[in-house]
Amino acid sequence: MEYLFLGLAISLVIGFEFVNGFHDTANAVATVIYTNTLKPTYAVIWSGICNFLGVLTSSGAVAFSIVSLLPVELIVNVASWQSFVMVTALLSSAIVWNLGTWYLGIPVSSTHTLIGAIIGIGIANSAFATGSNWWDGINWLKLQEVLISLVVSPLIGFCAVFILFLIAKSLIKQEELYTAPKDNIPPFRVRVALILTCTGVSFAHGSNDGQKGMGLMMLILVGILPSIFSLNMHTSHQAIAQLVATSQAVVPVFASQLRQSSTHNLILENVQFENGQAELTNFLKPQGQMDENTWRSLLSKSQLIAKNLSMHNNFIDIKDSDRYQIRTAMYLVANTITKLEKQQKLANLDRQSVLIDYRNQLDKTTKFIPYWVKITIALALSSGTMIGWKRVVVTVGEKIGQEPLNYAQGAIAELVTMTTIGTADYFGLPVSTTHILSSGIAGSMVANRAGVQSNTLKNLLLAWFLTLPVCILLGFGTYTIILFAVHQHFLGLS
């Protein structure tokens, strides 16, 4: 049965990335197709190849940034049927909205879609599964960070393209660059510039958007096959030995935050704090507050990690039943250190750098992406690129501005888009290719005094504002329906 669930869940991830490919990547090929720089067949194949390479070379930071938006108890207890319900609801909601907006030819963000569905699932999980307040199911700190990047990046696209277009028009006096493309092929240098910018946007799109599918795929694999994917099985003996040494080194740092009467016993007797997992899980929730038990839990879990790893040269030798327990401890400790760092709670510690190094070592052990997962997602994304591009290309080329897109506008908009996405990728922030490019083209139209079409602008803004609430409702409703169906099934079996 678990392999049936695994196949279904992986199929949904592949389906999401496939839809993402022909939905989002149409923006990357819009300029080269619309300006007759490349024939559509060549353009989408080339864009697909660049997306493929972008996924393969991505760091994975964005993947786990998206996953961290999910309720912490679902991630900690990922090896449960609730997590399967979560992933199914999440991907189903995102696919439905992406397909609907693609059919209407409206460029919307797959990132925006995914985040909305995650929020809806978090609210439903808090309301029905855990019985807590609805707002407890949302990682507000991470959500704020992600939403800021989604709001700021289109503004950067608009303003940067606006300024660069004016600079280009004042410095480069070639009238053909600023006129609407005709049926003939553009000049050689223009073609080269447009092909290069299309290449850059496609590669950047793969390196950023492809990671969302990778993060969800890993969540599924850890949940359904925890004995294989809980820990990075390729971690070297030297890395494990270093992690053991660092785990032992941080114990006095954590112990120094406890009352003196309890510090000595915890270090010498290696006492395990029984409520450590619950304490850290609660702390990682949006309303979680630090107290002495937070430090005690960190100390206890670090001792547990050091004790378990010191008895083995590699993760393969660890019993299957123990691997997930160790992973959970590592995940909780690493994310607690991250939250404490953001709250400036580590600033007064003597060995803050040791804790940061410890967090990074733990992340390398639990936040990994096998190469075959990258290849699978890359193939899905690049394959999707090769179909379904036409609807969005027409919108980008003709329906944003009062005049058709010209060569300079296309090249500058894509240059800014690839640069913005690449910068966001470096910082591990998910952004929208669609929003950045559409805003950039609008900025170029304003700079060229062509103006923008009010109907298209209204539709784009409407889609931008509706995506989040609609996908929240979709995620909430889908999760609730599937959760109810699963409950009914189990009650029927009993």
CA distance 385 to 102: 13
pLDDT higher than 80, residue 142: no
Three-state DSSP class for residue 57 = coil
CA distance 166 to 151: 24
306 pLDDT band, cuts 50/70/90, is very high
Q: Model pTM?
A: 0.80
Q: Specify whether the CB–CB gap between 38 and 46 falls below 8 A.
A: yes
- pLDDT score of 388: 59
pLDDT higher than 90, residue 242: yes
CA distance 371 to 153: 30
CA distance 327 to 391: 45
Q: Specify whether the CB–CB gap between 191 and 43 falls below 8 A.
A: no
Query: Bridge partners of 56?
Result: none
Average pLDDT of 258-282? 63
81 pLDDT band, cuts 50/70/90, is low
Q: Which of 123-127, 199-203, 361-365 has the lowest mean pLDDT?
A: 123-127
pLDDT higher than 60, residue 379: yes
DSSP sequence for 450-486 = --B-HHHHHHHHHHHHHHHHHHHHHHHHHHHHHHHHH
Average pLDDT of 93-104? 81
- pLDDT score of 175: 77
78 pLDDT band, cuts 50/70/90, is low
Percent residues over pLDDT 70 in the chain: 82
Predicted confidence (pLDDT) per residue in 346-356, tens digit? 877 767 889 99
172 phi and psi angles, rounded to 5 deg: -105, 110
- pLDDT score of 79: 56
Longest CA–CA span in the chain (Å) reads 83
CA distance 128 to 483: 9
Query: Bridge partners of 452?
Result: 401
Average pLDDT of the chain is 80
245 or 115: which carries more pLDDT confidence?
A: 245
**Which range has the top average pLDDT, 93-102, 258-267, 279-288, 417-426?**
417-426
474 pLDDT band, cuts 50/70/90, is very high
Q: Where are the domains of the chain?
A: 2-227+370-493, 233-366
- pLDDT score of 263: 47
CA distance 330 to 60: 18
